[in-house]
Amino acid sequence: MNFEFATATRIRFGPGVVREVPGLAGKLGHRVLLVTGRSADRARVFAQALEAAGLAPYLFSIPGEPTTEDVLLGVRTAKQGGAQVVISFGGGSAIDAGKAIAALLTNPGDLFDYLEVIGRARPLEQPSAPFIAVPTTAGTGTEVTRNAVLASPAHRLKVSLRSPLLLPRLAIVDPELTYDLPPTVTASTGLDALTQLIEPFVSCRANPMTDAVCRDGLRRVGRSLRVAHRLASATNAASPVPSDELKTARADLAMASLFSGLALANAGLGAVHGFAAPIGGMFTAPHGAVCAALLPHVMKANVRALRQRAPENDALCRYEEVARLLTDKEHATAGDGIVWVRELVRELEVPPLRSQGVAEQHVDELVQKAIQASSMKGNPIVLTAEELTEVLRSAL
């Protein structure tokens, strides 16, 4: 047995830990580039806390999923302001952008020197500028991964900047920041985390450490995603105090998201993300919703292919275990797990891919791009072009 496990230098988890950031950031530098998502308003209280601690933050907003142009602008902004520390406060888009900006502050040359697929894929040589990740959603786990996913509109692709040097100096995971997430975000991010727990668990690169976090994370999603979505849908603005039930569910999902990032960073992903990358590059589709629409169909295709061509593969037993962990039923089968996921996707009202603009005329191109995607290397069995075509058509 031979494996590696890498993650952020330090992880702080728990309700209220976000209030530790000003003091911790001040030890790394005083001029802060604060990278936020589309709505910078959510970060204003956080920015005020940084200012009160004697730091000088200036906001840089990412309007959608991060692009190469966003990162290049962010690097110029950071250099002009003399940024010593980069802090991302937001969802996966803000964190991925912040990772890339921090890396380019200390490594010479252009972003395309280091990008995979569309660039020269040179390795980063210098540690990134000090980077702190503060996720405000519970789904991507990117606060503990070693890559930043960026869209290149010119190439109609999503590609990665990938290096162990991208791992954050500090990951702050505070469930309180997710208490007010709306139902749609709760669904898409929660299902993204679920996908990122299932795919590493059945991956051909799984190892005992990733297995442990996947098992725990799957239990948490199984008992809490429906609860969090229901409570988000029923939120009463006149009663802003969160219930104990909401606190428990949100803590479960924040932990599951963190564990999904630890797992994917060290065991890889699979066919769901093999499709998600080219779909995200060609369409303005939310990543979590794309993964959710694909997940039950990929599970079904993998289980069928394994039974037909590799019945001795341990991944079949793992799909059985996934079903038991999610359903909390001792004798659940792989088929039961697929049904459970399909019903969850339906209950959480995840739209099919056609609602994101994907149509029959895109199928062949997306299948060919998916076959070449790096995430496919972790899939437990090589799916044929015909099998992938069936998956995509089923998800339309």
CATH of the domain spanning 11-178, picked from 3.30.70.20, 3.30.1360.120, 3.40.50.1970, 3.40.640.10: 3.40.50.1970
Torsion of CA 208, 159, 58, 31, to 10 degrees: 60
pLDDT category of residue 235 using cuts at 50, 70 and 90? low
CA atoms within 13 A of residue 95's CA, in its CB half-sphere = 30
> Tell me: the pLDDT tens digits for 322-361?
999 999 999 999 999 999 999 999 999 999 999 999 999 9
> Tell me: the pLDDT tens digits for 118-173?
899 999 999 999 999 999 999 899 999 999 999 998 888 888 999 999 999 999 99
* Residue 111 near residue 17 (C-beta atoms within 8 A): no
CATH of the domain spanning 183-395, picked from 1.20.1090.10, 3.30.930.10, 3.30.310.40, 3.30.70.80: 1.20.1090.10
* pLDDT number for residue 236: 52
pTM, rounded to two decimals: 0.96
Question: Of 211, 206, 262, 210, which Cα lies nearest the Cα of 378?
Answer: 206
Query: Which helix (DSSP H) or strand (DSSP E) does residue 388 occupy?
Result: helix 385-395
Q: What angle do CA 159, 213, 211 make, to 5 degrees?
A: 85
* Residue 137 near residue 184 (C-beta atoms within 8 A): no
